[in-house]
Amino acid sequence: MARFRKKPVEIEAVQFTGTGESCTEVAEFTGRTAAWKPTTYDGGHIPTLEGAMEFGPGDWIIKGVAGEFYPCKPEIFDATYEAVD
């Protein structure tokens, strides 16, 4: 079996916190492609290359290397990414 290492790639991301302000930030970041659950700020869904995926408070919305967007759970985000100055 071959082994591989993930290339160091910088990404852009915003964390959805479940507030109205966070909804605005995610909407602006994704070019308004995110859709919200009716009458709440507790999550929504975003179109991805694999189809629509749900996200909720605490999840990160990542812009991939090809300009695509997808949600990521905070524990996976923390294990995979670190802040860049």
- Domain-by-domain residue ranges, the chain? 12-80
* Mean pLDDT along residues 1-7: 88
Predicted pLDDT of residue 38: 63
Residue 83 has pLDDT above 70, yes or no: yes
What's the predicted TM-score (pTM) here? Answer: 0.85
Predicted pLDDT of residue 5: 85
| Predicted confidence band of residue 16 (pLDDT cuts 50, 70, 90) | very high
pLDDT, one tens digit per residue, over 22-76 is 888 999 999 988 887 766 678 888 999 999 999 999 999 999 988 999 999 999 9
Distance between CA atoms of residues 50 and 78, nearest Å: 22
Q: Classify residue 10 by burial, with Cβ atoms within 10 Å: 0-12, 13-18, 19+.
A: exposed
User: In this structure, what token pair is assigned to residue 15?
Assistant: 């964390």
Nearest alpha carbon to residue 25 among 13, 7, 37: 13
Nearest alpha carbon to residue 57 among 71, 78, 76: 71
CA atoms within 13 A of residue 80's CA, in its CB half-sphere: 15
